Amino acid sequence: MLLISSVPIQTRRFVTLATNDSYARGAMVLGKSLRNHKTTRKLVVMIGPHVSDPLQRGASKIFDEVLLVDVLDSGDRAHLALMKRPDLGVTFTKLHCWTLTHYSKCVFMDADTMVVQNVDELFDREELSAAPDPGWPDCFNSGVFVFRPSNETYGKLLKYCTEHGSFDGGDQGVLNGYFSNWATADISKHLPFIYNLSSIAIYTYLPAFKQYGGNAKVVHFLGQTKPWSYTFDPETKRISGDMQEASTHPTFLLDWWMLYSSSVVPMMTEGYGEQPFHSGCVEVSLEGSSASQDPHHTEPYVSPQASEERKQKWEQGQADYMGMDSFDNIQKKLDAFLK
């Protein structure tokens, strides 16, 4: 069931989705980042039934509208479609944003994104505008996209889901299948990568990150390990967690936690006793690994077997980002090569 308030027609909104408490926290960081960078648009968050009441109340302090979405029990076309494809439940929840027809145009942003510059100009784009995915650039990444709510489009998307499914098991596969001409039809719908800087791409093309990274407007924390998978000490500005699984540059991860601890946590502790995340992992400083801080450090000898294992870990997205494969170490290698 979707509960919405009455708002004027011809409105434009930033929209995000939180299906559980962790993603609700991420959504609040996203909302605060949009506010901090002076957006002139109102903010909407779709909240799933598994988000706790305290987190819903916290979201209402940041977002202009909190919409309760429960596609699994909605009794609408999505419910009927799920009878055939229950594996696409979360995907259907995200596609539900096309039913927000009391808005004229929206920019959808995943709850694991963070704005680092104002992005209001995205509303000048048309549906379906999105940035290329770093893993397969002929596909767009569905973490940030411009769309026009439409019940007709929603119905067609559901039909596509039930007939074709999703080639990647999620919403990105469905949307790329439905908007299949994105790669070739209209270049104006290709958002520059700075609007969806997928964190893993920082390590796969370091020279480009060095050249263009300062222009980034939206950072997307892709991968299984999200910012909220760690803990943060605001006094020492240190993050605790398994940093070898980190899939983003430490600076962005630190920025996320600084925003969460300074703006979201105080809001949540007003009567609700919000506690920080705990991972039970050894604390690691984001100011750099001990190797990168040591001016006399040299990269250790790597045996052929270890080198092959390292290659396999890179291919599996498990590079040692805080050790041998740290940003500083790789940058030193590139600098030496380019001299």
Q: How far is CA 25 from CA 61, 111, 239, 262, in A?
A: 12, 8, 17, 13
Class of domain 2-195: alpha beta
E strand residue ranges, the chain? 2-3, 12-18, 42-47, 65-69, 105-109, 113-115, 129-132, 140-147, 197-198, 218-220, 231-233, 238-240, 283-284
The pLDDT score that the predictor gives to residue 219 is 95
Rg (CA), the chain: 21
The pLDDT score that the predictor gives to residue 266 is 86
Instruction: Give domain limits for the chain.
Output: 2-195, 201-338
Q: Token pair for residue 142?
A: 């569905």
Counting Cα atoms < 13 Å in the Cβ hemisphere of 330 gives 17
The pLDDT score that the predictor gives to residue 282 is 28
* 17-60 pLDDT, tens digit each: 999 999 999 999 999 999 999 999 999 999 998 899 999 999 99
Cis peptide before 68 (omega within 30 of 0): no
The pLDDT score that the predictor gives to residue 246 is 53
Q: How far is CA 86 from CA 68, 81, 91, 175, 243, in A?
A: 20, 8, 10, 17, 35
Q: Show the low-confidence residues of the chain (pLDDT under 50).
A: 1-9, 272-305, 314-317, 321-322, 337-339
* 264-285 pLDDT, tens digit each: 988 877 654 444 443 333 232 2
The pLDDT score that the predictor gives to residue 27 is 98
The pLDDT score that the predictor gives to residue 232 is 84
Tell me the whole-structure pTM to 2 decimals: 0.77
Strand partners, 12: 105
Sign, CA torsion 281/283/288/289: negative
The pLDDT score that the predictor gives to residue 281 is 31
Q: How far is CA 301 from CA 190, 296, 304, 323, in A?
A: 43, 15, 10, 14
Q: How far is CA 308 from CA 222, 245, 265, 337, in A?
A: 25, 19, 43, 21
What is the number of other CB atoms lying within 10 angstroms of the CB of residue 155?
15
The pLDDT score that the predictor gives to residue 284 is 28
